[in-house]
Homo-oligomer: A and B are copies of this chain.
Amino acid sequence: ESVRVAVIGGDGIGPEVVTEARRVLEAALAQEPVEIEYVEFSLGAEHWLGTGETLSEETLEQLRGVDAILFGAVGAHPQDEKAPSGLLEREVLLRLRFSLDHSVNLRPARTYPGTATPLAGAPEIDFVVVREGTEGPYVGNGGAIRRGTAHEIATETSLNTAHGVRRVVEDAFTRAESRRGHVTLVHKHNVLTHAGDLWRRTTETVAAEHPGVEWDYMHVDAATIHMVNDPGRFDVIVTDNLFGDILTDLAAAVTGGIGLAASASINTEGSAPSMFEPVHGSAPDIAGQQIADPTAAVLSAALMLDHLGLSQAAHRVEQAVHAQLEAWAQAPDSARGLSTSERGKAFAARLRP
């Protein structure tokens, strides 16, 4: 059996960490009757500088044909005036999420051995955020009049649909069933009454269809407090696109770093390929030096295996990462100064029989 995976290394440290993800995938599948055929795509700031293209219709069409997408990072250096980084994030990253209908943006948050959580008492954390990925304030529905004058008015409209909210909430409740059985809906319904109301009613309906799952509601501001004071309480968080963006960065911080945070942008309907990417950005300041941490990319590859139905292999990658981080935590000297690929190789070595 063969699966086709598009690889988009992108900018900065993207290509470096994706190389390690591929190394680990290869090791994980060595004993399996599955082969991955990789198709490389050049996208990002470099590509844009060279071609003037962000993401062409043609490329998008080709991407639609693969089974999954492994993504590094895009974005030029903020100081680089030639390649406005907001443009690439919107025209590549967000365009992919919207065009491929990535309704669920899945972001696990957990503590690993040896990671330095900034929280006193180093609490154990293990939750997932199911972030909506195709609507909310991310739809680009804004405008401005009298721009640049003292009378300027700028708007941004958040769009929320029953269709979009329901599939995400369903995903969250289904995930909770195979976890600790608890969902927390995060919104701000006391202020964003119409959107909040849709999210609440939808959650009530879906909850009734999942009697084994408990749920509660939390305002987004209060959620940040609990995430710092008692992150262990969360199991599955379901929330809108913007709140999810904010909470998952906070979650990465409290678990001990963005270098470990993996994510999956999932097309829940199966109408287009899903995409797997580390939460971190392109970090152009440390690019090309082989000092980036590939762990988030490797864990994103594990999410991809799981999505492709290779859940045993996915599990083995997670175990390997866990065991290797544990080993490094036990003998910190052995981890000091390791390059990006030395780290990747160490994970891969644990997967060989």
Residues of A within 8 A of B (CB): 85-86, 89-90, 94, 117-122, 137-138, 140, 142-144, 146, 148-163, 166, 188-195, 197-198, 201, 220-222, 224-225, 228-229, 242, 245-250, 252-254, 258
Contacts and interface: CB of A to CB of B under 8 A. Distances in A.
28 contacts: A85-B190, A86-B189, A86-B193, A118-B119, A118-B228, A119-B119, A137-B192, A138-B191, A142-B194, A150-B162, A150-B166, A151-B162, A152-B162, A154-B160, A154-B194, A154-B195, A154-B198, A155-B159, A156-B194, A221-B245, A221-B249, A224-B246, A224-B253, A225-B250, A225-B253, A228-B253, A229-B253, A250-B250
A258 B190 CA distance: 19
A52 B89 CA distance: 50
Contacts of A118: 119-120, 228-229
A195 B155 contact: yes
Contacts of A86: 189-190, 193
Contacts of A254: 228
Which 4 residue pairs of A and B lie closest in terms of their CB atoms, listed nearest first?
Answer: A86-B190, A221-B249, A142-B194, A152-B162
Contacts of A146: 162
A222 B194 contact: no
A253 to B, nearest CB: 4
B160 A195 contact: no
Contacts of A224: 224, 246-247, 249-250, 253
Nearest to A117: B120
Query: Which of A154, A163, A228 gathers most chain B CB within 10 Å?
Result: A154
A166 B153 CA distance: 12
A117 B229 CA distance: 9
